[in-house]
Structure 1
Amino acid sequence: MTKQNAKAYWKENIRYVIILLLIWFLVSYGAGILFKDVLNNIKIGGFKLGFWFAQQGSIYVFVILIFVYVRLMNKLDKKYGYDE
């Protein structure tokens, strides 16, 4: 691997991490705290949606984002030849 490939790999990896953390932040902080009052007008299973995101939704999204990250990194590894 060349140094240029390694830099490109790292840059793309950091971009993925920042995007996924931003999504998690928006879901956990945004939906659970900032937009809680708006989301509480919607109910799921008898619970207000803002409450659900604050208690469970952000955890589910975080776990899904872990799987998304693994998939993205597997593709990135193949793209740059680190999949051995």
Structure 2
Amino acid sequence: MVLVDPGAERFDLLIQVADLQRHRGKVGFEDPESVRLQTGILDQKTESLDQKIDALDRKIDRNQAQIIELFTQLIGQRPDAG
């Protein structure tokens, strides 16, 4: 079993989201069609990042469940059993 440091991957995704948000603020309004296209592209990228974050959250949940299971096997009882 390999445990991945989810913090580093999540940080990278958050940096990408911040870059997208900064880029949205720099879009010029001279050409409305260009703005629509750029907004559509940025929305797709944001949606892709949201999907990656959701997948990462599921991976974190699985890893935490594995850790609890390993501790349970190690000490012979569930940690929340009191």
Bin the TM-score by the shorter chain.
Answer: 0.3 to 0.5
Structure with the largest fraction of strand: 1
How does the TM-score come out when normalised to structure 2? Answer: 0.47
